[in-house]
Structure 1
Amino acid sequence: MKSSRLISLLLLLQTRGRMTAAQLAEQLEVSVRTVYRDVESLHAAGVPLYGDAGHSGGYRLLAGHRTRLTDLFAGEAEALFLAGVPGAADELGLGSHFVDAQLKLRAALPAPLREHVDRLRTRFHIDAPSWYAEETGTPFLTEVADAVRRGRVLRVRYRRWKEPTDVDRRLEPYGLVLKAGRWYLVAGPGPRTYRVDQILELVVDDAESVIPEGFDLAAYWREYQVGFRERLHQGEAVVRLTVEGGGRLTGPAARAWAETRAPEPDGWTRATLPIESLAHAHDTFLALGADVEVLEPAELRARLAATVTALAARYAVPPGRAAETPEP
């Protein structure tokens, strides 16, 4: 709605100061021409909004002008109450502040909207970690979060997956990310990403942590995830699958099966699937049992054949003893 967009435009200028038409268009997800029209509408309504030309120009509100827009729409109130994750606030040591903030927000709502939000809160519950996530705990999360807030350098002993596993690092925190119930610290130099639950020792330094100008935590994390997926699947396997086997695939393997599968005369399908490593692929395909046959790479096929041969020998019925049929 135009009225909502005009309010958003005013609040952006009020909180960020001078902004160009292009910057406003990007934030509001509209065209620059639409921003020009919105500015004209605000001028006509008497809003003290000014535009400066030139390289450092942009739109700004008259100094000292504040727009009081405290009324919330129902959708906005719902979003504010549902956006908060109490568990995350507790882990960061902000649980009591989270509760107080929600109480203040609730008290500021008109009675009908307050009742609507109260009903909504009984119908949604956010539980971010996956079913099989281990309850490992994150001992130094509060200290890391405090260093992020105050902009302080960290000196840590960190456990990584490759040798040497335990290393000492001087980190300049840029931000924290919560992904699937696990906390990650993005820090310089680099920046690089560190799992907070792999920090073994930690000392907060008095030195100030400097975040590079223009660093965008959300943009970095998006790029990091893309790179992570590319690094994760660096190989391929050519396989034959039954329909049941293909249906049990998940993630990138399931998408690749759907895109590359070719039917064969015996009812199976041939497909090329991404794999992380030979060891990981071995375990993944072994779990599919007789519903998969690996054709390539030859080393993976040989590993599976060796495992199946060993299993067959282990479970072979001794001579002279009839196999027992399990009761239904």
Structure 2
Amino acid sequence: MARNEQLIRQHKILQILERYRYGCLLEEIRDALVDELGLSSLHTRTVRRDIESLQAAGLDLDVHDSGRGRVWKLGASGRGMHKITATATELIALSLGRDLLLPLSGTPFWVGVESFWTKIQEQLPEGTWEHYRKYRQVLYVTGLSAKNYSAQEGTLKNLNRAIHQHRIVEVAYQKPGQPSPSGRRLEPYGIVFHQGSIYIVAAANELSEDDPNRIRHWKLDRFKKAEVTDDYFKVPKDFDLEEHLGGSIGIFAAHEPMDFKIKVTAAAASWVVEDPWHAEQKVEQHEDGSITLTVKAAHELEIIPRVLALGPEAEVLAPKSTREAIKTRVEKMAEVYSKR
């Protein structure tokens, strides 16, 4: 079994034992793992090996005889191992992160965020909270997406389970403008939270491994269902999620991102410098104060809206196809606005 699956089980065992003061039978731990991790089956021998690994790591886990049988419990030191301490400054940083994650409301991730925040509230002294509330009143987060993913909670749970277990999912996926969803078999690799929306990085199972369009980014909003199958897949050895996403300014997927060159006038240059489009963008300064911006993107639709937002202050120099695409859009816009 994969190492990460073993670690997930062991972490879940600790969570289960934390909930039960008087301990659990081995079979009860096994049943809870199967239910909470969505497993099809699990042998008690595997659970016992996981507990022994936790003990070998120094965690306080004991077994005791009871009227129900032999039960496993967290020892006194084990129950105190998650003692939380935080300063008011750390609370401010954490609460800002919590606010920024509000679009995840309705997902298992948000449940974890709120659970942790509640634990902190229960354990920190009132003086720390008074200091935190005083300074948090002058710091406000805005501009967040109004989304809520409650309706997709079950779908996201299935996709998350398939990612950890490396299992193929059968989905019904409906693109905008498509009359009905189409059935697909996907190999999910990871979950991305981008500008208030959740995307699933997954390979289309029907495409060959050397197809450059095999790995795509599928928007969670468009999943009508996702069922985990009993078929397994292997993640390519050279696939790295961070590296895969780092080559572009947006969420489009591409085998090889392209270079885009944009001329920005002196009047708008400071806006682009103040709010970079990408961490690795290149800016060439000119004597008249204008700049030439070179940035990588997976698709021209990641560039065109940004250029149009700058109006006549920005001009795409390359590639030629993107320049022509913007020209066509501008001409059509001119037709619309000239009708009156």
TM-score (norm 2): 0.48
Q: Taking CA–CA contacts closer than 8 Å with sequence separation of 6 or more, which of the two structures ends up with the larger relative contact order? A: 2
Structure number with larger C-alpha Rg: 1
